[in-house]
Amino acid sequence: MVGFGKRGTKVAPHTYPKLPFHGLRALQLLSSLIVGSIMVYFIYYLSHDHWNIPWTFVFFTAASGTTVIALCTTIILHCCFGLNPRFNLFINGGLFMLWGAAFGMLSWWASKTLTHRCKVEDWNDETGVMVCRIYKALYAFGCCGFVSTLCALVLDVIVWKRATRLGNFTALNDDKATVVPYNDVDLPTYNRSQPAENPATGYGVPEEQFGYDDTHYHGAHPPQARYA
């Protein structure tokens, strides 16, 4: 889980809560697949009849396609290396802007269509009814994609702040790290450290063993008994 910052410094260990993380990603994927399928259908028939492609469809196509690619990429990183919350925050931030622009344009552009009933009396024939229903499905799953991406963005912020609050760390004795191991003698702090005492060569006898003034033998009795 490589962090952004100084060389050799990593973000403290962190994990995404499994249920919110995978649940939101499932909603993002489902919304993207359905919205992308609807966009392929509309764009095909508009191009076939030589109509211009609305910018709303362009943004929805970009949002759904980019989301699928981002989800596939980040799940590989999450399983193999660990997903960095700051990196995922950057990804979801871009996706949120795409979904927000597309959903906002659809809400403004198709507001009258969305408020009508999908019946033959209002749409003249079955084709109009089908288009009405597709628009409402597009609006529903566009809203789902927008909200799920927003929630995923909030989750990234929470996990990133929690990891930042734990502080930074450097892996000890990591052979794969870009810095030298902690026990390498080439470390600057290792070379600058001074011993508590200056080392001396040779063998030195402790001075305490010469602290006795009288080293003569006086017999088995003390001096007072011998001269009594």
In angstroms, what is the C-alpha Rg of the chain? 37
- In Å, how far are 182, 185, 189, 197, 201 from 192, measured between CA atoms? 14, 11, 5, 15, 22
Q: In the chain, how many H helices and how many E strands?
A: 8, 2
User: Tokens 């950057």 label which residue?
Assistant: 90
Plot region of 124 (φ>0 → left; ψ -120 to 50 → alpha; else → beta): left
- Does 81 fall in a domain? yes
Question: Residue 215: its pLDDT value, please?
Answer: 58
User: Tokens 């919110």 label which residue?
Assistant: 20
Could you count the other beta carbons within 10 Å of the beta carbon of residue 56?
A: 22
| Through-space distance between the first and last CA atoms of the chain, rounded to whole angstroms | 90
Q: For residue 87, what are the domain limits?
A: 10-48+56-169
Q: With pLDDT > 90 as the criterion, what percentage of the chain qualifies?
A: 48
Residue 168, SS3 per DSSP: strand
Q: With pLDDT > 70 as the criterion, what percentage of the chain qualifies?
A: 66
Task: Decide if pLDDT at 9 tops 60.
Answer: no
- In Å, how far are 39, 161, 213, 225, 226 from 218, measured between CA atoms? 115, 82, 14, 11, 9
Beta bridge pairs of residue 168: 11
- Does 219 fall in a domain? no
Task: Decide if pLDDT at 172 tops 80.
Answer: no
- Does 179 fall in a domain? no
**Full-model pTM:** 0.66
- Does 3 fall in a domain? no
Structural domains counted in the chain? 1
- Does 212 fall in a domain? no
Please say whether the beta carbons of 21 and 74 come within 8 A. no
- Does 187 fall in a domain? no
Range among 14-23, 88-97, 111-120, 190-199 with highest mean pLDDT value:
88-97
The DSSP bridge pattern shows strands 168-169 and 10-11 to be: antiparallel
Question: Residue 173: its pLDDT value, please?
Answer: 52
Could you count the other beta carbons within 10 Å of the beta carbon of residue 52?
A: 8
Mind listing the pLDDT tens digit for each residue in 92-135? Answer: 999 999 999 999 999 998 887 788 788 888 788 888 889 889 99
CA atoms within 13 A on the CB side of 163: 23
Q: Which residues, 6 or more positions from 104, have their beta carbon under 8 angstroms from its beta carbon?
A: none
pLDDT bin (cut points 50, 70, 90) of residue 2 is: very low
- Does 227 fall in a domain? no
- Does 217 fall in a domain? no
